[in-house]
Structure 1
């Protein structure tokens, strides 16, 4: 047995105790560990429980024979690799062949020789050991192959990464004199302009040109001498002679024996960063001048590190000496008043997210003595190319005095708040009264002026109109006299002939008639305008009178006709009239004229910027409106009956053709079930209907709709158009009283309705309803 191996276990299976004893003694003498078994079933259990290194198996056994034991063990994954040697008296070739076919590796015939048994056992165990060694070596070889494959793949990736890097990468041979270059990547070529062939075998110092006394070169030489890593900044020159700044990092590379073999250098172009630092340095110098010249406190916050520069003025503002307040963001935050903390931090975060152009906030900051001062903080952040905030510079201004004044003012306002509320109510009423007075005075003055103008125009117009006929007759008489002269003196003097040609007597004779006709038409037009002005003004008419609505609208259009006509720059405004037959309305005529003027003038104003076609549509018709009257003496059932009666009327063909509408004026009406009253039967309901007086009022209204196709209004504007002094026109173009006064005239003075329907982009319609 090989002494280099630990004792190996041999399972002996034989139904002969004598054979078991002999083999056990023999194998123990040769330092093997032996486990005996008298039958096949016990052998299988023992092998599965603790697999041996070798099995000596008898074939002829009661129960399960050796062939069956071998077949079962070879079929099990746990025992199929255990070598089995048959030990039997069977010597036929077929028996041996069967044993080998089942997986046995050797065959010992009985009676056996001890030397043969030991020799075969040792040979098979040696083979088994060799097999295990080969399997272990193969496993290790497979692991090494996999490791090397992964390493080669990783190396190829690293090579690609180095080649693709925008930074310059240089590898020098540290075992050769002067550290010559043995590798550069494409990043180095792009950065310096040199190709790999041009720099191979050279030392990289040639990139510094004639600038050999740079501080970074000394640091680099010392690191190479001491075989250490180094990071330094150098000013190099490209192949075309242009300078650039680089940040160079070198790292030594050692072999497994610890010998220095190479240096790897990584170059990063920092030319832009150096230029920015120079500009920042100049900015810092100017900023220092600002700090010394202003009384405000200045701060400079490095957002990435949290360090904050605070000027001496800023710290003194809070009562701190230079060394008594830490230059950190946390120190500033700890001084914030708890009530101002959230608002201040939100304002700061909003600015750092670039949602506000400047950081500006007011807050209280604790002083050294524990008191608080109001501070107005202003600042502006700087961001890197990726949008991350890197720095913020700003100032602190003490506004405590201003805040104290504001607090005093707020206290004074609080003392007057109750009076202010009362004044607001009075002011609202005053504005309404003022609007009425202003418009009344305005219309009164306008009416007086229009009446005066109409009177003054009417006199000379009457004179012109009355004398035109006489002028026409006088001219005809003069022409007739000239004709008589021409008959009596057919050969006038040359002077008369020249003058006749000069004045073109024939044309003058013909054009005079046209001229007088035009003057007659103009005088008639003036008379119509004067009549419309008189009707519109209606001075001193404060009583109710019957008014022709159509005539009033047409007179208003006549006054506004100059605004409806086309100009050199714009086309005119078309007025469409959809007039139905209307009864005369008992009203205040001058007030209604004012309403029509206001609404039509607003429609014209709205169409001024509208592209053609520009249209104003005026429609009139008569409608009836039913209103439920108060029924204090009737039960809810009766009310329900009344509603049913009105509903039945509403469904009649006559009501539809006459344009009836119905208005329920019982607010918060409840159903009969909610009132706890049992519903009436249909018969009772009809009976109640027959005994009830009509619970509705039939009111006839004249409806005037004035619509334009202008830009329209939003819902927000529609809610305000009837408020006094509200206007959408430019300053100086309107008083904001027209629609407010119109609403009061229609609703309060005439018990009518004035409403507005408008859609942005489609136009506006005003609906006037006046009871007849």
Structure 2
């Protein structure tokens, strides 16, 4: 049970408001040993005292007073934000239920009728002051907790920003190391390819010249040989000179075309994996896409599981854009390789007639987007994605492939290259069993 003796070093402050000095004196005698007492004989004075520091911990208020009765005074105190929480106990000779209800309606927390008992006054005042102090402590603790919670939220936000920065830096490092490694590797491979191809290319021209000379020499010798040299005629028929004369230049031309193709592949590898400069340069997106397709050409051919993949290029009239070509080539490589993977996945389990009947297709479309942007769309008719996968397709670590396929970072890196390095956008639209489309929008100058 709550007692009425104050144990705190500072006594709680009680404001007594009553127009009868005798009533004030009686309450003062009851409360003076336990509380710091201030008194007012009217509402105006009470309003002055209630805002003084320290504020009262409780107000004992008479109902019947001139000028401003207890109900009006209570409403005035409760209308002020700085005093609205101070508990008010009404003390009155009015004992009708209506009077008591009104006291509670205007904000009172208790109602004591006269004449009152000393112990009743002490217990009720002690109880309400204790409740008031508990509420104050609870309010202060709530403020502290709210403040701590806000600090935790800010700390969490800072950690999320730092985490995003770490992820971004990690992707940049992975991308830089990957491109540097591939650049070195390709430079070595290209060098090893170029040396023999240059040698072969130069010798093919000599070989073509020598062949023509040899045929001329053979014709001259045949003219000088006796017409009755049957053994020579037999040898010519065995060799089938006319076939050799017709076929050998074709073979040399085929070798020449093969070397040209090899040089084209070598040049594509060299430019595809080239190291980007610090500054953006003008770049033809169609060249980048074509080089990517050339590198992936072996994967688009038919195999034992599917028909060849048809590449449909709907290139629009777009200008060169300022960009980092090596990075955009990497984006095209990721998207086109994923499209091929999706088509391979879609063909699994199909019967041979079904495989032959279905056309595997990757469609690449470029066009202007307004006056300042270009758009690249890469669409396949592969297996498509579920909505849950599509929603997370650019998240780091997400993969729809087997562990042995891919680094699980391709889409995240592609998203970073487009959005952060080039201030563009990349979106994905996919329907399970129908296919997937990636749409890239890039500024011509940024």
TM > 0.5 fold call: yes
Q: Find out whether 1:714 has 2:377 as its counterpart.
A: no
d(CA) in 2 for partners of 1:738 and 1:583?
Answer: 27
The answer to whether the 8 Å contact 1:451/1:539 transfers is: no
The answer to whether the 8 Å contact 1:726/1:736 transfers is: yes
Point out the structure with max Rg over C-alpha.
1
The answer to whether the 8 Å contact 1:621/1:703 transfers is: yes
Cα 1:428–1:582 change in 2 (3 A) is: closer
Aligned to 1:201: none
1:466 deviates by 2.3
Matches within 5 A, 1:458-473: 458-473=194-209
Give SS of 1:608's match.
helix
Give SS of 1:734's match.
coil
1:599 deviates by 0.5
1:572 deviates by 0.6
Cα 1:542–1:492 change in 2 (3 A) is: farther
Higher RCO (CA 8 Å, separation ≥ 6 residues): 2
1:502 deviates by 4.4
The answer to whether the 8 Å contact 1:541/1:590 transfers is: no
Cα 1:616–1:755 change in 2 (3 A) is: same
d(CA) in 1 for partners of 2:276 and 2:315?
Answer: 30
Aligned to 2:68: none
The answer to whether the 8 Å contact 1:576/1:616 transfers is: yes
- Listed one character per residue, the Cα deviations across residues 326-353 of structure 1 (whole Å, up to 9, x for unaligned) are xxxxxxxxxxxxxxxxxxxxxxxxxxxx
d(CA) in 2 for partners of 1:760 and 1:468?
Answer: 52
1:605 deviates by 0.7
Give SS of 2:372's match.
strand
Selected match of 1:613 from 345, 350, 359: 359
Aligned to 1:176: none
Give unmatched runs, 5+ long, in structure 2. 1-155, 348-357
Aligned to 1:595: 331
d(CA) in 2 for partners of 1:568 and 1:490?
Answer: 59
1:623 deviates by 1.5
Matches within 5 A, 1:205-284: none
Aligned to 2:301: 565
RMSD: 2.7
Aligned to 1:553: 289
Give SS of 1:539's match.
coil
1:499 deviates by 4.9
Q: Find out whether 1:506 has 2:178 as its counterpart.
A: no
Aligned to 1:752: 424
1:535 deviates by 2.2
Q: Find out whether 1:530 has 2:266 as its counterpart.
A: yes
Q: With structure 2 as the length reference, what TM-score do the two structures score? A: 0.58
Aligned to 1:729: 401
d(CA) in 1 for partners of 2:245 and 2:342?
Answer: 49
Aligned to 1:704: 376
Matches within 5 A, 1:131-142: none
1:710 deviates by 1.1
The answer to whether the 8 Å contact 1:709/1:763 transfers is: yes
The answer to whether the 8 Å contact 1:709/1:764 transfers is: yes
Q: With structure 1 as the length reference, what TM-score do the two structures score? A: 0.34
1:560 deviates by 1.1
Give unmatched runs, 5+ long, in structure 1. 1-419, 625-698
The answer to whether the 8 Å contact 2:346/2:433 transfers is: no
Matches within 5 A, 1:612-651: 612-624=358-370
d(CA) in 2 for partners of 1:552 and 1:421?
Answer: 39
Matches within 5 A, 1:439-454: 439-454=175-190
Give SS of 1:484's match.
helix
Between Structure 1 and Structure 2, how many residues are aligned? 280
Aligned to 1:173: none
d(CA) in 1 for partners of 2:236 and 2:272?
Answer: 51
Selected match of 1:586 from 308, 322, 325: 322
1:456 deviates by 2.5
Aligned to 1:539: 275
1:753 deviates by 0.5
Give SS of 1:525's match.
helix
Give SS of 1:534's match.
helix
Matches within 5 A, 1:352-391: none
Give SS of 1:609's match.
helix
- Listed one character per residue, the Cα deviations across residues 284-309 of structure 1 (whole Å, up to 9, x for unaligned) are xxxxxxxxxxxxxxxxxxxxxxxxxx
d(CA) in 2 for partners of 1:428 and 1:470?
Answer: 61
1:426 deviates by 6.7
Aligned to 1:743: 415
1:546 deviates by 0.6
Cα 1:544–1:427 change in 2 (3 A) is: closer
Instruction: Name the structure with the higher helix share.
Output: 2
Aligned to 2:127: none
